[in-house]
Amino acid sequence: MKKSPRVLLLVDWLPERGSLLFESLRKAGLDCDIMGTNFDKSKWTPVNKIISHWPRCLWVSLKAFCRRNNYDYVIAWQQTMGTFLGLLKLITFSNFPKVFILMAIIVERQNPLLEWFRRKFISLCWGKVNHIGFLSNAYMRLIQERFNVQESQSVLLTSPIIIEKIPDFSGYKAGSYLYSVGRSLRDYRTLMAAVQSCTHQFVVVTSNAAIKGLVIPDNVTVYRNTFGEESDRLMQQAAAVIIPLSQINSPTGELTLIEAMCYGKPIVITRTVITQEYIVHGQNGFLVPWKNPDAIVEAVNIIFSDPEKADFIGRMARQTVVENHAMDAFSRKVSDIIVNDLYGAKSS
């Protein structure tokens, strides 16, 4: 009988806070330990990321590398630690530890020279990574081309959610507000342009930086840096959720999207390389073109003019999440890939 693979999970939160991903990986048959570092996402800024988050990730990666002989695999929840492990393997000419990045999320930079150097650096580091998870087929193909990622490394791992955390279907709530949440790569300028053509109330949860310089219409209530349980409550009570995105070729907003779908909300979201594979337009949500406020208004009008359809779309959204985005199924796929790599056969 083959022994359970010994793995180390690296996360960007304090392990003692607990992790249902960790428990789910154990349930999937992996002998799993966890190591992490706290990164307060509510204080996210590019500068804070560079001077605080990246050094902490490097330190955790270095500790994991020093313990490489104790594990069959190191699993990095987010790519920064996995990329640093690839770098450490590269500069030490080592083939260990084996590394699995669960979520590859690369946001394209506007500076061509910076983007060129960044792609070269990541390509070299990822050359020493065994498996890399991507959120959609289209995004996987895009990154394979840009970063010289091999097909043998690439794994489709759609964004997971712990459905048990959102057990209830709250669904479409006629007469309530439209809700939007998020800081990173949100296109609130387009949303505010759409709001001016609507009579409905809107609630937006974001940071000051994300709406800097924008004129906020009277029918918009802004909650600044109100995340966690309060933002979940606001989403649960909303009629529908709008997620305007500023990038179409980079992952962004997918975690908010999955959460809103799990609540059973009708969703209006920008069509991107990720969202076009999660949402079927008019069936479990609405996909709108990039920077098109009129399309947002049209989708909003459909939602409020046809409550039965709005409710149906919300129910289809939740069904999509239950069938395709459960954390246990995500963890079983990760376990199967690791077992297959180590022993040449999938786990039962």
Locate the domains of the chain by residue range: 6-160+326-343, 164-324
> What is the per-residue pLDDT for 44?
65
- Contact predicate 284/309, CB 8 Å: no
Q: Do domains 6-160+326-343 and 164-324 have the same CATH topology?
A: yes
Distance of alpha carbon 269 from alpha carbon 276, whole angstroms: 10
- Contact predicate 179/241, CB 8 Å: yes
Distance of alpha carbon 83 from alpha carbon 139, whole angstroms: 18
Contacts of 162 (CB under 8 A, 6+ apart): 20, 24, 327
> What is the per-residue pLDDT for 45?
72
Contacts 24+ apart (CB under 8 A), 335-338: 335/5, 335/25, 335/28, 335/29, 335/30, 337/100, 337/131, 337/155, 338/5, 338/7, 338/30, 338/72, 338/73, 338/100
Tokens of 187: 């296109």
Tokens of 229: 């349980």
**What is the SS3 assignment for 39?**
coil
Strand ranges in the chain using DSSP code E only, listed in sequence order: 6-11, 31-36, 73-76, 98-101, 131-134, 154-156, 178-181, 202-206, 220-224, 240-243, 267-270, 286-288
Local structure of residue 135 (DSSP, 8 states) = S
Contacts of 316 (CB under 8 A, 6+ apart): 283, 284
Other C-beta atoms closer than 10 Å to the C-beta of 246 total 20
β-strand pairing of 286-288 with 240-243:
unpaired
CA dihedral (20, 228, 190, 255) in degrees, to 10, reads: 0
> What is the per-residue pLDDT for 17?
77
> What is the per-residue pLDDT for 348?
41
- Looking up tokens 């794994």, which residue turns up? 155
**What is the SS3 assignment for 155?**
strand
Per-residue pLDDT for the chain (348 aa), expressed as one digit of tens each? 478 999 999 998 888 877 889 999 999 999 999 999 987 665 667 788 888 889 999 999 999 999 999 999 999 998 999 999 999 999 999 999 999 999 998 888 888 899 999 999 999 999 999 999 999 999 999 999 999 999 999 999 999 987 777 878 899 999 999 999 998 899 999 999 999 999 999 999 999 989 999 999 999 999 998 888 899 999 999 999 999 999 999 889 999 999 999 999 999 999 999 999 999 999 999 999 999 999 999 999 999 999 999 999 999 999 999 999 999 999 999 999 999 999 985 444
CATH fold of the domain at 164-324: Rossmann fold (3.40.50)
- Contact predicate 259/161, CB 8 Å: yes
Distance of alpha carbon 25 from alpha carbon 32, whole angstroms: 7
Q: Which residues of 173-182 are buried (b: 16+ CB within 10 A; e: fewer)?
A: beeebbbbbb
6-160+326-343 classified as CATH 3.40.50.2000: yes
Bridge partners, residue 143, by sequence: none
